[in-house]
Amino acid sequence: MQQISSQTLIRVTGAMMAILIVLLGVMVWRQGRVVDQLVEQEIERNNLTSSDTLEEPVSGSLKPQIINISGEKRTLNLPEQYQIDVFTDQIEKPQGVAVDDQGNVFVSDSDAQQVSVVPRSDRSRLEVVDTSLPNLSGLAWHEGDLYVVSGEKVYAYREVTAEGEYQDREIIIDDLPRHNGSVGKQILVKDSRLVISIPARCDACEERDPRYGSIMSYALDGSDEELYAKGFHSVGGMTVRDGRVVVLDQGRSGISATLPPSELNRVEEGRDYGWPFCYGKEATDPKYPNKVDFCTSQAEAPLVELAAHVAPAGITEIPSTISESLSGLFAVSYAGSDRYTVPRGYKVVVVNPDTGEVQNLITGWLDRSGSAWGKPGAIVDVSEQALLIADQEAGVIYELTRTE
């Protein structure tokens, strides 16, 4: 009798355990579904096309446009007075983009390890300038010459043409600090000098080589190295406005899902912009609590705080020929990040440097499931008639034009 009772108890216990497991499974499923819904809601806010939020759309609302990319139809959202098309799909992974005074477009392709040019006269062509260039990142055109950053070297292609030909190729710098991170070195020309950003090698540390986490300056022949400014973790894009260098600093990771903010900085030569001790507007990094006085009284604050972990990767001033209402504001691309629970970025925004207002201009690279099919990167204007946007993920360069 006692043996039968024990077997019954075992059966009852097993049944109860099975029910408990089912109930736990249902609870986990429901909790997971709630998390999924919250993620979808945050993605919808990120991609916002019509509702009010921190990054509401420009021009009232954004309208979907179908774009054909390598035979596949995709949807991007942008103001109805603009049109977006594929400028070229012959680049594997476009990094830097530069335009000469004739409208020819030079592109560095990090996957193919080559620099090419799309002639203005025929965008279906792609002429190769040079190959076997590892770790390609930024490039800049100035008075007939093309400057290309490849790893620790800077190449100068003298009198480069739309056919990809040049008079001479020089290695003008061969000792830039080594860096293997995801953010490359950016380059531009200001006042007949090369300005090059050098990313930091760590989230928060004091580098022995002061060139890391800084912006350097060189003569056009690569000589006369000078420290231009310091205190940047990883500069994703640079431009010049009103004679001042303007940079996007992606900021470090590891503090939280919402800190530190990305930054738009107007750079003054010789100043310190805070990293690794500070971030944002006078905030002190938790790793350096003894640097509060430095962060509040000495370090330069950003012109605009941008969203955290969106990986700002390209910046250009919007000309009046593209938009009278947006003229003088910045078009900024967010390459995006899925490092945290909710992916963020994957869009192009308009930033007002005077008010700090940020508005969505183009969204859609991030779908509701949290999957990103594109990563907008370098952004430039072409003869003040169009904006070109490089997509490192889809392997294309887009052209944004005005339809009105």
54 domain residue, yes or no: no
Distance of CA 358 to the CA centre of its chain: 15
Write down the residue that tokens 């021009």 correspond to.
59
| Angstrom distance (rounded) from CA 174 to CA 229 | 21
Query: How many helices, marked H, and strands, marked E, lie in the chain?
Result: 2, 28
Q: Nearest Cα to 47, choosing from 64, 70, 33?
A: 64
* 14 falls within a domain: no
CATH of the domain at 355: 2.120.10.30
In a domain, 1, yes or no: no
Sorted by sequence, the CB contacts under 8 Å of residue 285 that are 6+ apart come out as 204, 252, 255, 260, 276, 277, 278, 279, 291
Token digits for 236?
């994703």
Which range, of 57-61, 314-318, 399-403, averages the lowest pLDDT?
57-61
The residues that bridge with 351 in the sheet, in sequence order, are 330, 358
Identify residue 89 by its one-letter amino acid code: D
Q: How many CB atoms lie within 10 A of CB 259?
A: 17
- How many independent structural domains does the chain possess? 1
Average of per-residue pLDDT across 149-155: 97
Report if residue 12 sits inside a domain.
no
* DSSP for 196-254, written as a single string: EEE--SSSS---SSTTTTEEEEEETTS-S-EEEEE--S-EEEEEEETTEEEEEE---SS
Contact 175, 152 (CB under 8 A): yes
With 0-12 CB in 10 A as exposed, 13-18 as middle and 19+ as buried, what is 40?
middle
| pLDDT tier at 36, thresholds 50, 70, 90 | low
pLDDT digit string (tens) for 369-401? 889 999 999 999 987 789 999 999 999 999 999
Local confidence band at 149 (pLDDT 50, 70, 90 cut-offs): very high
**Residue 334 lies in domain:** 63-402
Mean pLDDT estimate for the chain: 90
pTM exceeding 0.85: yes
Asked whether residue 170 is domain-assigned, the answer is yes
Q: What count of other Cβ atoms lies within 10 Å of the Cβ of residue 177?
A: 18
Residue 36 lies in a domain: no
Does the pLDDT of residue 342 top 60, yes or no?
A: yes
- 3-class secondary-structure state, position 93: coil
Domain for residue 45, yes or no?
A: no
Reported as a pLDDT band with limits 50, 70 and 90, residue 339 is: confident
pLDDT in tens, 192-251: 999 999 999 999 999 999 999 999 999 999 999 999 999 999 999 999 999 999 999 999
CA distance 319 to 275: 32
Q: Is the pLDDT of residue 116 over 80?
A: yes
Q: Within a domain: residue 22?
A: no
Q: Are 108 and 131 spatial neighbours (Cβ–Cβ below 8 Å)? A: no
User: For 154-206, what is each residue's pLDDT tens digit?
Assistant: 999 999 999 999 999 999 999 999 987 778 999 999 999 999 999 999 999 99
